[in-house]
Amino acid sequence: MTKKISIKDLAKELQLSIATVSFVINGKGEEMGISEQTIGKVIDLIRKRDYIPNNAARLLRTGKSHTIGLIVEDLGNYFFGNVAKVIELEASKRGYNVFLCSTDNNAKTAKELIRKMRNSSVDGLIITPTKGLKDELEKLSWDNVPYVLFDRLVSELDANYVVLDNRKGSYDLTKHLISNGYEDIGIVTIVNEMSQMQEREEGYKDALLEADLAYDKSNVLKVRFDDSPEEIVDAIAKFVKKRKGLDALFFATNYLGVYGIEALKKVKIKIPYDMAVVSFDDNDLFRLFTPSITVAAQPIREIAVQAIDLLLSVIEKKELTDKYIAKVIAPVLIQRESSPPKL
CB 138 within 8 A of CB 159: no
7-53 matches 166-298 in fold: no
* Contact present, 171 and 148 (Cβ < 8 Å): no
CATH code given to domain 7-53: 1.10.260
Residue 189 near residue 259 (C-beta atoms within 8 A): no
Contact 160, 325 (CB under 8 A): yes
CA 302 → CA 113, 155, 307, distances in Å?
26, 24, 9
The per-residue DSSP string of 256-308 comes to HHHHHHHHHHHTTPPTTTT-EEEEES--HHHHHSSSPPEEEE--HHHHHHHHH
The pLDDT score that the predictor gives to residue 285 is: 92
Give yes or no for a contact between 130 and 103, defined as CB atoms under 8 angstroms apart.
yes
Q: Which CATH architecture has domain 64-164+300-330?
A: 3-Layer(aba) Sandwich (3.40)
CATH superfamily membership of 166-298: Response regulator (3.40.50.2300)
Q: What predicted TM-score, i.e. pTM, was given to this entire model?
A: 0.72
Q: Where are the domains positioned within the chain?
A: 7-53, 64-164+300-330, 166-298
pLDDT in tens, the chain (343 residues): 455 677 788 888 888 887 788 777 766 677 778 888 888 888 888 778 776 565 544 543 445 678 899 999 988 888 899 999 999 999 988 888 898 999 988 989 999 999 888 877 788 999 999 888 999 999 888 888 899 999 888 888 889 999 999 999 999 999 999 999 999 999 999 987 677 889 999 999 999 999 999 899 999 999 998 899 999 999 999 999 999 889 999 999 999 999 999 999 999 999 999 999 999 999 889 999 999 999 999 999 999 999 999 999 988 875 545 678 899 999 999 999 999 999 8
Backbone angles phi, psi at 164, to 5 degrees: -90, 150
Give pLDDT, residue 316. 81
What pLDDT was estimated at residue 253? 93
Tell me what pLDDT residue 336 has: 97
The per-type count for the chain, helices as H runs and strands as E runs, is 13, 12
